[in-house]
Amino acid sequence: MPKQKTRRSAAKRFSLTGTGKIKRNKANHSHMLIRRSNSAKRKMRQSDLVDSSEEKRVKRMIIK
């Protein structure tokens, strides 16, 4: 049986934490920044966790 390959596009966007949760970056941080407040731009710099409903699907894509 062949090896299971990692989806490289997903591997660049998501990473596993030490406890097994999946970390993601916030979207929409590269355009329309003039009209956003400083606090909104600052919040977008932080990473966030993937929702539990999507976790199984994302884990299957980034499995090594």
Mean pLDDT score of the chain? 90
Tokens of 45: 């710099």
d(CA 59, CA 12): 13
Q: Residue 28's pLDDT band (boundaries 50, 70, 90)?
A: confident
Report DSSP letters for 18-60, one per residue: TTS-EEEEPS--SS--TTS-HHHHHHHHSEEEPPHHHHHHHHH
Give the predicted TM-score (pTM) of the model: 0.74
Burial of 51 (0-12, 13-18, 19+ CB in 10 A): exposed
pLDDT given at position 4: 83
Domains in the chain and their CATH numbers? Answer: 8-62 (4.10.410.60)
